[in-house]
Amino acid sequence: MDPRLHEIGYFLEFDQSSGILYFKRREDFYIDNDLNEGGRIQVLSHSVTDFKVEFLFQEIEQAAGGSKEEWSNEFNTEEKECFKVGDPPCLPRAIQLSMTLEAESGEKVNDSQVINLCVRPCKPELFE
Protein backbone atom coordinates (compact mmCIF):
# COMPACT_ATOMS: atom_id res chain seq x y z
CA MET A 1 0.00 0.00 0.00
CA ASP A 2 1.27 3.50 -0.89
CA PRO A 3 1.95 5.53 2.30
CA ARG A 4 0.96 8.74 0.39
CA LEU A 5 3.92 10.69 1.83
CA HIS A 6 7.26 9.97 0.15
CA GLU A 7 10.86 11.12 0.49
CA ILE A 8 11.68 13.14 -2.61
CA GLY A 9 15.00 14.83 -3.27
CA TYR A 10 16.81 16.49 -6.12
CA PHE A 11 20.58 16.63 -6.49
CA LEU A 12 23.42 17.28 -8.90
CA GLU A 13 26.07 14.68 -9.57
CA PHE A 14 29.26 15.31 -11.54
CA ASP A 15 30.62 12.44 -13.65
CA GLN A 16 34.43 12.84 -13.72
CA SER A 17 34.93 10.57 -16.73
CA SER A 18 32.48 12.38 -19.03
CA GLY A 19 32.64 15.86 -17.48
CA ILE A 20 28.83 15.92 -17.37
CA LEU A 21 26.77 17.40 -14.53
CA TYR A 22 23.62 15.31 -14.06
CA PHE A 23 20.44 16.64 -12.46
CA LYS A 24 18.74 13.73 -10.67
CA ARG A 25 15.56 13.03 -8.71
CA ARG A 26 15.35 10.44 -5.93
CA GLU A 27 12.06 9.08 -4.61
CA ASP A 28 11.72 6.66 -1.73
CA PHE A 29 8.18 5.49 -0.94
CA TYR A 30 8.95 5.24 2.78
CA ILE A 31 10.23 8.02 5.02
CA ASP A 32 13.13 7.02 7.25
CA ASN A 33 16.05 8.69 9.04
CA ASP A 34 18.39 8.55 6.01
CA LEU A 35 17.29 11.11 3.43
CA ASN A 36 20.14 10.23 1.05
CA GLU A 37 19.76 6.47 0.61
CA GLY A 38 17.24 4.11 -0.89
CA GLY A 39 14.49 4.63 -3.37
CA ARG A 40 14.64 5.08 -7.12
CA ILE A 41 16.87 7.61 -8.90
CA GLN A 42 16.04 9.13 -12.28
CA VAL A 43 18.26 11.34 -14.45
CA LEU A 44 16.26 14.47 -15.33
CA SER A 45 18.97 16.23 -17.35
CA HIS A 46 22.58 15.86 -18.42
CA SER A 47 22.91 19.44 -19.68
CA VAL A 48 23.05 21.45 -16.42
CA THR A 49 25.67 24.21 -16.36
CA ASP A 50 24.37 26.16 -13.33
CA PHE A 51 22.00 25.48 -10.43
CA LYS A 52 21.19 27.85 -7.60
CA VAL A 53 18.91 27.73 -4.54
CA GLU A 54 17.96 30.93 -2.72
CA PHE A 55 15.83 31.46 0.39
CA LEU A 56 13.49 34.36 1.18
CA PHE A 57 13.49 35.09 4.90
CA GLN A 58 11.78 38.44 5.09
CA GLU A 59 10.28 41.29 3.19
CA ILE A 60 11.37 44.72 4.40
CA GLU A 61 8.72 47.44 4.25
CA GLN A 62 9.92 50.47 2.29
CA ALA A 63 9.31 54.04 3.52
CA ALA A 64 7.85 54.99 0.12
CA GLY A 65 5.51 51.99 0.22
CA GLY A 66 5.85 48.44 -1.00
CA SER A 67 8.47 46.02 0.25
CA LYS A 68 11.92 44.74 -0.64
CA GLU A 69 12.63 41.01 -0.60
CA GLU A 70 15.76 39.84 1.20
CA TRP A 71 17.11 36.63 -0.39
CA SER A 72 20.02 34.49 0.88
CA ASN A 73 21.87 31.48 -0.51
CA GLU A 74 22.26 29.97 3.00
CA PHE A 75 19.74 28.22 5.25
CA ASN A 76 20.43 26.71 8.69
CA THR A 77 18.85 23.25 8.65
CA GLU A 78 19.35 22.50 12.36
CA GLU A 79 16.16 21.40 14.09
CA LYS A 80 14.63 24.07 16.33
CA GLU A 81 11.46 24.83 18.25
CA CYS A 82 9.20 27.22 16.36
CA PHE A 83 5.64 26.47 17.37
CA LYS A 84 4.90 29.33 19.74
CA VAL A 85 3.85 32.83 18.75
CA GLY A 86 6.97 34.98 18.62
CA ASP A 87 9.34 32.12 17.73
CA PRO A 88 11.36 32.76 14.58
CA PRO A 89 10.01 30.81 11.60
CA CYS A 90 11.40 27.30 10.99
CA LEU A 91 11.20 27.62 7.23
CA PRO A 92 12.00 30.43 4.86
CA ARG A 93 8.99 32.27 3.41
CA ALA A 94 9.89 31.06 -0.09
CA ILE A 95 12.54 29.18 -2.07
CA GLN A 96 13.79 30.15 -5.52
CA LEU A 97 15.32 27.46 -7.72
CA SER A 98 17.29 28.62 -10.77
CA MET A 99 18.83 26.37 -13.40
CA THR A 100 20.76 26.87 -16.63
CA LEU A 101 20.86 24.16 -19.30
CA GLU A 102 23.14 24.14 -22.34
CA ALA A 103 22.08 22.53 -25.61
CA GLU A 104 24.55 20.71 -27.87
CA SER A 105 24.47 23.81 -30.10
CA GLY A 106 25.86 25.86 -27.19
CA GLU A 107 22.64 27.80 -26.66
CA LYS A 108 21.86 28.32 -22.96
CA VAL A 109 18.39 28.38 -21.42
CA ASN A 110 17.74 29.77 -17.92
CA ASP A 111 14.65 29.25 -15.80
CA SER A 112 13.67 30.09 -12.23
CA GLN A 113 10.80 28.93 -10.05
CA VAL A 114 9.70 30.49 -6.76
CA ILE A 115 7.94 28.17 -4.31
CA ASN A 116 5.92 29.93 -1.59
CA LEU A 117 6.33 28.27 1.84
CA CYS A 118 4.35 30.91 3.69
CA VAL A 119 1.69 29.45 5.99
CA ARG A 120 -0.86 31.24 8.14
CA PRO A 121 -0.49 33.80 9.66
CA CYS A 122 2.74 34.60 7.78
CA LYS A 123 0.94 37.01 5.46
CA PRO A 124 -2.80 36.88 6.24
CA GLU A 125 -3.86 38.83 3.14
CA LEU A 126 -2.76 35.87 0.98
CA PHE A 127 -5.52 33.77 2.54
CA GLU A 128 -8.46 36.18 2.21
Q: Is the pLDDT reported for residue 29 higher than 80?
A: yes
Q: Is the pLDDT reported for residue 51 higher than 60?
A: yes
Name which residue leads in pLDDT, 59 or 100: 100
Tell me how far apart the alpha carbons of residues 93 and 103 are, in angstroms, rounded to a whole number: 33
Tell me how far apart the alpha carbons of residues 14 and 68 are, in angstroms, rounded to a whole number: 36
User: Sorting pLDDT into bands at 50, 70 and 90, what band is 110?
Assistant: very high
Share of the chain above pLDDT 90, in %: 30
SS3 category, 126: helix
pLDDT tens column, 72-109: 898 877 766 666 666 666 778 889 999 999 988 999 99
Residues 94 and 114: beta-carbon distance below 8 Å:
yes
Tell me how far apart the alpha carbons of residues 53 and 72 are, in angstroms, rounded to a whole number: 9
